[in-house]
């Protein structure tokens, strides 16, 4: 028996240039489309009559990008998701995810250049929209950020943890805490007309401020504090999911050289790393069956 299934197009690269005289704006997106619906015949009988080609999905993204600005990306994701549900009867649910990589203006002559750009660090803006048919419920809009690399050199420790015969880690109340933050938040159901850019900036600042100021007893402890602060300060957010890989910075043992390391010299390691994830909800989440 065929189980749950979906299909779509991923990695649709889209760059839009908006020209306003000598000043140009650039948006650089990677778009993914996923459709669920009545596609059983394609799996069971090789009948493709209900299957919209993934190449058509790619073309749709480009065509709809030409109609108007991509900003805000949350609204563009919702327009795409609604299009696939409203124009293709077999589709019961469409989900569109967008990741945006930023470009910043190059300084020239003491001012930002109007049409020359450089790519800054790896942080990405994220957005997603899910749209079902009327009987399936309202559309949902998500936004977020990924690969926001942050580090604190104080107010972080890890002690009192479980131990067994393989434990070698020592308690510490003074360690470096670094992570590449990924945060995805879901807006309340009536979110279509929100000021997405202002909200994103405010939520991002809340995450950063909380990370910096929190007296951390573990990554889990700080993760929850960050999610809790977002829900307290931003009523438009229903829930937030955070992923915080622990980018370990280990004190170097200099004792073989007769040198004391006063918690000042560290080695940064990429792998292996701890991976901490959790969701923080405004109300109790639905019970799992």
**What angle (nearest 5°) sits at the alpha carbon of residue 199, between those of residues 58 and 205?**
110
Buried b (16+ CB within 10 A) or exposed e, 64-95: ebeeeebebbbbbbbbbbebbbeeeebbebbb
Residue 43 falls in the annotated catalytic set: no
If one counts every other C-beta atom within 10 angstroms of the C-beta of residue 240, the result is 25
The rounded distance, in Å, linking the Cα atoms of 183 and 185 is: 7
Tokens of 172: 């510490």
Residue 54 falls in the annotated catalytic set: yes
φ, ψ for residue 84, nearest 5 deg: -65, -35
Tokens of 152: 């604190």
Please identify which residue in the block is written with the tokens 């589709």.
Answer: 91
C-alpha to C-alpha distances, 91 to 25, 32, 119, nearest whole angstrom:
35, 16, 37
> Which of 24, 54, 153, 221 is an active site residue?
54
> Which of 58, 214, 247, 248 is an active site residue?
248
Give catalytic residues, as residue numbers: 9, 54, 248
């Amino acid at each position: 028996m065929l189980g749950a299934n979906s299909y779509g197009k991923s990695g649709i690269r889209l760059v839009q240039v908006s020209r306003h005289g000598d000043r140009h704006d650039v948006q650089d997106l990677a778009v993914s489309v996923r459709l669920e619906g009545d596609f059983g015949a394609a799996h069971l009988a090789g009948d493709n009559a209900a299957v919209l080609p993934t190449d058509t999905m790619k073309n749709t993204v480009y065509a709809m990008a030409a109609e108007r600005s991509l900003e805000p990306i949350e609204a563009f994701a919702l327009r795409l998701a609604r299009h696939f549900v409203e124009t293709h009867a077999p589709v019961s649910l469409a989900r569109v995810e967008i990741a945006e990589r930023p470009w910043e203006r190059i300084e020239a002559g003491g001012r930002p250049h109007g049409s020359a750009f450089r790519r800054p660090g790896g942080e990405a803006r994220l957005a997603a929209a899910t749209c079902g048919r009327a009987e399936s419920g309202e559309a949902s809009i998500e936004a977020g950020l990924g690969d926001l690399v942050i580090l604190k050199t104080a107010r972080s420790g890890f002690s009192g943890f479980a131990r067994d015969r393989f434990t070698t880690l020592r308690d510490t109340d003074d360690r470096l805490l670094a992570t590449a933050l990924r945060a995805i938040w879901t807006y309340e159901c009536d979110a279509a007309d929100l000021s997405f850019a202002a909200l994103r900036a405010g939520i991002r600042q809340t995450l950063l401020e909380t990370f910096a100021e929190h007296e951390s007893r573990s990554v889990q402890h700080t993760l929850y504090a960050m999610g809790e602060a977002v829900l307290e300060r931003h009523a438009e957010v229903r829930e937030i999911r955070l992923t915080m890989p622990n980018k370990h910075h280990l004190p170097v043992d200099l004792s073989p050289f007769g040198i004391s390391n006063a918690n000042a010299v560290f080695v940064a390691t990429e792998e292996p790393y701890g991976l901490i994830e959790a969701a923080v909800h405004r109300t109790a989440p639905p019970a799992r069956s």
